[in-house]
Amino acid sequence: MKKYETEKNKKAMERNKIMSRKIFLKLFSYFLLLVITACSEEYSEIFTTNNSSVIENELRNADKNTLVIFDINDVLFEQKEMLFKKKNDNLRKKLLSASERKITDKEEEKAIFSVVVQSPIVYIDKNFVNIIKNLQDRGIKVMALTNGLVGECGYVKSMDRLMLKQTRDMDYHFEKSWKHLKNAQIYITKIYNKKDRKILFMDGVVFANKLISKASKGECLLVFLKYANFFPKKIIFIDDKMKNLKSVSEICERNDITFVGFEYTGATNRNDLPPLDENHAKLQLYILKKKHKLLSDKEISRMLNYHW
């Protein structure tokens, strides 16, 4: 009887051991899944903010294994005149489509484009100047990544040189982080099988040349990193468009680079700008089309006040 009881207890103990092992394996698998998920989330985070101080807080953790990237238009600066600010894109498009006098002549289109791209620019948040200088003083690499065009467009002989002049005039000096890297046109054919398509690296700025290259910012960044032979452990990217942030995030994930992105909405999510008056915008557009001249907001207001 005792022998039977002992055998029974042994079998029960074995069953308990097997059951405990199964429970442990299930718990371990669940824990492992949580760890993997947590790690993957660490590799890619994107935040939305209109406040440069939020971005500055993240940048305090940057070190020499971090690459910090800024978009240019509608992040570091914007057009001065209200009509061409990103906040008023919808109204401008509406007025252009409703206009009785359409822009159909190519020469006229070139003239108007050239006037607008060379018109005065202003800071959205001047704090970015100090943020970039501080990073460079700490020996952290900083660059700009823009979809901007390369070479001649409209009556502008060099779009890339125009943008470089604008950034320097606004006291942004990305070349300081890349003193030993030669400026170059970088073909993306070999990597993405896109014939005769190239991007430009010049003085710390990568021009994606979007209309020609047809490449995403993520693709262009990868081509540049290979050219520079520089693969950071972490990338922090500030851009005003979510699709650009996601394209860089995907490249980072594929190359085991931690990614933190900021969708910067300072150009649109702001209360310091008054609403654009439609009559003001109509008159500004009319003169731009008629005389190929972009009058300032002050000049337009003065004309309206005098019932021009």
CATH class of 43-73+123-264: alpha beta
Residue boundaries of the structural domains of the chain:
43-73+123-264, 81-119+277-308
Token pair 């490249």 in the structure block, residue:
251
- Highest mean pLDDT pick, 148-162, 202-216, 245-259: 245-259
pTM exceeds cut of 0.75: yes
DSSP-derived secondary structure for 118-157: TS-EE-S-THHHHHHHHHHHTT-EEEEEE----S-BTTBS
CA separation (Å) from 207 to 74, 172, 204, 221, 232?
A: 16, 16, 10, 10, 20
Calculate mean pLDDT across residues 185-209: 77
Q: Single out the residue of 140, 144, 162, 145 nearest to residue 153, CA to CA.
A: 162
| Per-residue pLDDT band at 280 (split at 50, 70, 90) | very high
3-state class of 25 per DSSP? helix
Calculate mean pLDDT across residues 188-204: 72
Checking if the pLDDT of 2 tops 50, the result is no
